[in-house]
Amino acid sequence: MFVLSECSWNNRKYRTITGSSGCEGGVSDRFPNRERATDQAAYNFVKRPLQFGHLAHFKEKRGLFELLATLPSQLKPHVDSQADCAFLQDMFGEKSLQALVKIHEKLQRYEDRSPTPVLISAGTLAQDLVKELQNKPVGLEIQELLGLLDKPHVKSLLSVHDTVAQKSYDPQLPPMPDDIDEDEDSVKIIRLVKNKEPLGATIKRDECTGAIVVARIMRGGAADRSGLIHVGDELKEVNGIPVDDKKPEEIIHILAQSQGAITFKIIPGIKEDAQDRQPKMFVKSLFDFDPSEDKAIPCKEAGLAFKKGDVLQIMSQDDATWWQARHEGDANPRAGLIPSKQFQERRFALRRPGVLAQPQKVSNRRSSSLRRSFRLSRKDRKTNKSMYECKKSDQYDTADVPTYEEVTTYCRPPSGQHRLVVLVGPTGVGLNELKRKLLISDPQHFGVTVPHTTRVKRSQESEGVEYHFISKHLFETDVQNNKFVEHGEYRGNYYGTSLDSVRSVLSKNKVCLLDVQPHTIKHLRTAEFKPYVVFVKPPTIERLRETRRDAKVISGKDDKCLAKPFSEEDFLEMINTSRVMEAQYGYLFDKVIVNDDLTSAFSDLNGALKKLETETHWVPVSWTHS
Ligand SMILES: Nc1ncnc2c1ncn2[C@@H]1O[C@H](COP(=O)(O)OP(=O)(O)OP(=O)(O)O)[C@@H](O)[C@H]1O
């Protein structure tokens, strides 16, 4: 199913130096066009010394040397310490500085005169002279001159002179091969110069024809930008070495050994139509991917590693198995390979049937699905929290294999409805505490839902304050009509949080704080609520022991609803549940907060919620369509 013999040019360093594509380009045997080619780096290198005059911003270009010489005495009245004076003297008297200034001034003078070279081929003249002199009777002066002209430094100096004189800043390429079959229209010669940037292409042996072909061009990479190499192009030669009988790895080895310019002889395949290119698409990754550990990837070096929650730009979906993508906002334009959605789903299902069949159970020793949603509005402290045991259970939805979710940017309009803030975490981690702090910090801004119950109203209670008191029949009808976010039964009475109670808080232009069991999150993920999910996780057990010394937790072991100090077992369960929740539902979390020090956790949460109201966030595209 996969091509396992694909090799990457990615880890090799090339730069194309000729051509027409806006990148450094390339050249074909049909249209050699070296005139247009520009090697900016070489140009800059040669040019830079001549621009030395711009080193300092002295308006007065001449007399810099004199100026520096007088500076120490000029500055003396302004310098208090003797040591500083000595330092200035030393600095301005430094021989190398003076030499540099002298050179600068000389160059400046030359530049002002716009010197033109006497001749542009001093190197050739020197060679002719050497030939001429070699036939002359040997004299001392002639010997000395021949020795001088033979010195590498002198040769290099003359060569640089000629380069500058001819303004020929392009790197010297070897001559074009003369054994190209003129009748063979399709042969293309491409020359590349090694550079730090990888080429961004892979090669493989075509299973049908046996030819070595370009397997992939990574979008945005050097090869892609050059527009000269395409998928399907047949590689015939590298630096004159035929590659027909070579393995892709051997070709990569030849490339690795090559220095400077490398010549490829290529027979172009069918040209990819630019129109075929997919439009830009952004996805949030819902799993971690490490190409170096992926046995199926056709080329590990071409892979793109990412973590759960990273936003990726999909550059190509041409291949049904391996998409090309880059990290959103990454300066590197070159794409890498990632498993396609379909492929990831398929292999996830094949690899881990056990996970799908037997979901990990989120521990619920004394917790349940609904209890937290009631907490802040509930005055009835006697109600046992375990009453909200949810019948829906924590089943892992087998249809949902977390792969990628298409996302887009969203910023809440200044007067728009607030996004629903959903808090999840293991029992006792501090959700209630954090909610309480938010409510106290700004009661006008934050709000919580009022739950429904079928329990009889007590004398001190008021409808719509502690609960909405409704009949069993109505409650059951509402359950049938999916009106509840979560619901459960305790001692013969139903309790639940309705979707309308969430709407009611939001309609008051408040931020609705809702804590739920994690399996409920996906039911809330709608364009209407645009939930922002915060996972609150416990710190290490050592920190739990330290920070929760005076804290109390409601024990679920009995029905007495007694607040007791945390036990070691409570801590362990909190940590284990947190791990399971994160592994199972982590892909749904927008923010993870470790509730170690309460003040820091609160300020972390508060800061994130402030940003949520004003800054742009990535949300599923479906939320912005309605
Ligand atoms: N960072 C913290 N440092 C110290 N104590 C904390 C911290 N966070 C919470 N607590 C305390 O831990 C106890 C349990 O917190 P809280 O009731 O908020 O947990 P919860 O997540 O809502 O769980 P439950 O639903 O079981 O009550 C409370 O006494 C609370 O004051």
Please state, in angstroms and rounded to a whole number, the distance separating the CA atoms of residues 222 and 200. Answer: 6
State in Å: Cα 566 to ligand 1 middle. 10
Close Cβ partners of 49 (under 8 Å, ≥ 6 residues apart):
107
Residue 518 has pLDDT above 80, yes or no: yes
Per-residue model confidence (pLDDT) at position 178 = 62
Close Cβ partners of 566 (under 8 Å, ≥ 6 residues apart):
428, 544, 548, 551, 552, 553
Rg (CA), the chain: 37
State which of 433, 438, 573, 602 you would mutate to test the pocket of ligand 1, scoring each by most atoms of that ligand within 8 A of its C-beta: 433
Residue 282 has pLDDT above 60, yes or no: yes
The mean per-residue pLDDT over the stretch 498-526 comes to 95
Top-confidence residue, 291 or 490:
291
**Per-residue pLDDT tens digits for 125-175:** 999 999 888 877 778 888 889 999 999 999 999 988 888 888 776 666 666
Q: Which atom of ligand 1 is nearest to the CA of 433?
A: 18
Please state, in angstroms and rounded to a whole number, the distance separating the CA atoms of residues 556 and 560. Answer: 8
In DSSP notation, 435-473 reads: HHHHHHH-TTTEE-PPPEE-SPPPTT--BTTTBEE--HH
State in Å: Cα 602 to ligand 1 middle. 12
Nearest CA to 205 out of 215, 194, 193 is that of 215
Q: Which atom of ligand 1 is nearest to the CA of 552?
A: 29
Residue 2 pLDDT level (bands cut at 50, 70, 90): very low
Nearest CA to 429 out of 596, 559, 600 is that of 596
519, 581 in Cβ contact below 8 A? no
**Per-residue pLDDT tens digits for 49-73:** 333 333 344 444 457 777 777 887 8
**Per-residue pLDDT tens digits for 421-448:** 999 999 999 999 999 999 999 999 999 9
Per-residue model confidence (pLDDT) at position 349 = 77
In DSSP notation, 95-121 reads: HHHHHHHHHHHHHHHHHHH----S-S-
pLDDT over 90, % of the chain:
41
Q: Is ipTM beyond 0.95? A: yes
Question: Length of the chain, please?
Answer: 626
Residue 124 CB-half CA count within 13 A: 5
Q: Which range has the worst mean pLDDT, 226-235, 484-493, 596-605, 607-616?
A: 226-235
Please state, in angstroms and rounded to a whole number, the distance separating the CA atoms of residues 598 and 427. Answer: 16
Per-residue model confidence (pLDDT) at position 483 = 95
Strands 511-515, 446-447: pairing kind: parallel
CA geometry: angle 585, 586, 591, nearest 5 deg:
125
State in Å: Cα 603 to ligand 1 middle. 16
Q: What's at 125, amino acid-wise?
A: L
418, 609 in Cβ contact below 8 A? no
Top-confidence residue, 340 or 8:
340
Q: How many CB atoms neighbour CB 304 within 10 A?
A: 22
Residue 389 has pLDDT above 80, yes or no: no
* Torsion angle of C-alpha atoms 207, 211, 212, 214, degrees rounded to 10: -80
Q: Given the structure tokens 């399709």, which residue do they identify?
A: 186
Per-residue model confidence (pLDDT) at position 1 = 28
Residue 415 pLDDT level (bands cut at 50, 70, 90): confident
Closest-CA residue, ligand 1 atom 1, reads 598
Residue 515 CB-half CA count within 13 A: 26
pTM: 0.59
Please state, in angstroms and rounded to a whole number, the distance separating the CA atoms of residues 266 and 188. Answer: 5
Q: Which DSSP symbol is given to 132?
A: H
Q: What's at 252, amino acid-wise?
A: I
Average model confidence (pLDDT) for the chain? 78
Close Cβ partners of 273 (under 8 Å, ≥ 6 residues apart):
none
Strands 446-447, 336-339: pairing kind: unpaired
452, 590 in Cβ contact below 8 A? no
Provide the angle, in degrees to the nearest 10, between the axes of the packed helices 95-113 and 82-93. Answer: 50
Provide the angle, in degrees to the nearest 10, between the axes of the packed helices 431-441 and 598-614. Answer: 60
Nearest CA to 267 out of 164, 162, 186 is that of 186
Please state, in angstroms and rounded to a whole number, the distance separating the CA atoms of residues 232 and 292. Answer: 26
What domains sit in the chain, N to C, each tagged with a CATH number? Answer: 122-166 (no CATH), 188-267 (2.30.42.10), 286-349 (2.30.30.40), 413-623 (3.40.50.300)
Pocket of ligand 1, beta carbon within 6 A = 371-372, 425, 427-433, 547-548, 551-554, 595, 598, 601
Per-residue model confidence (pLDDT) at position 170 = 64
Per-residue model confidence (pLDDT) at position 524 = 95
Residue 437 CB-half CA count within 13 A: 14
Per-residue model confidence (pLDDT) at position 358 = 44
Return the beta strands (E) in 254-310 as ranges.
261-267, 281-285
Q: Which range has the worst mean pLDDT, 61-65, 244-248, 342-346, 619-623?
A: 61-65
Top-confidence residue, 189 or 431:
431
Token pair recorded at residue 24? 């450094």
Please state, in angstroms and rounded to a whole number, the distance separating the CA atoms of residues 477 and 483. Answer: 9
State in Å: Cα 432 to ligand 1 middle. 6
611, 605 in Cβ contact below 8 A? no
Return the beta strands (E) in 206-357 as ranges.
212-217, 234-238, 241-242, 261-267, 281-285, 311-316, 322-327, 336-339
Closest-CA residue, ligand 1 atom 12, reads 551
> Rounded to 5 degrees, what are φ and ψ at 77?
-60, -20
Per-residue model confidence (pLDDT) at position 227 = 75
Residue 396 has pLDDT above 60, yes or no: no
338, 403 in Cβ contact below 8 A? no
State in Å: Cα 434 to ligand 1 middle. 8
Please state, in angstroms and rounded to a whole number, the distance separating the CA atoms of residues 15 and 260. Answer: 10
Nearest CA to 160 out of 201, 120, 207, 126 is that of 120
State in Å: Cα 390 to ligand 1 middle. 22
Residue 393 pLDDT level (bands cut at 50, 70, 90): very low
Catalogue the long-range contacts made by 522-526 (C-beta closer than 8 Å, 24 or more residues apart). 522/397, 522/400, 522/588, 523/485, 524/420, 524/422, 524/485, 525/588, 525/620, 526/623
Per-residue model confidence (pLDDT) at position 590 = 95
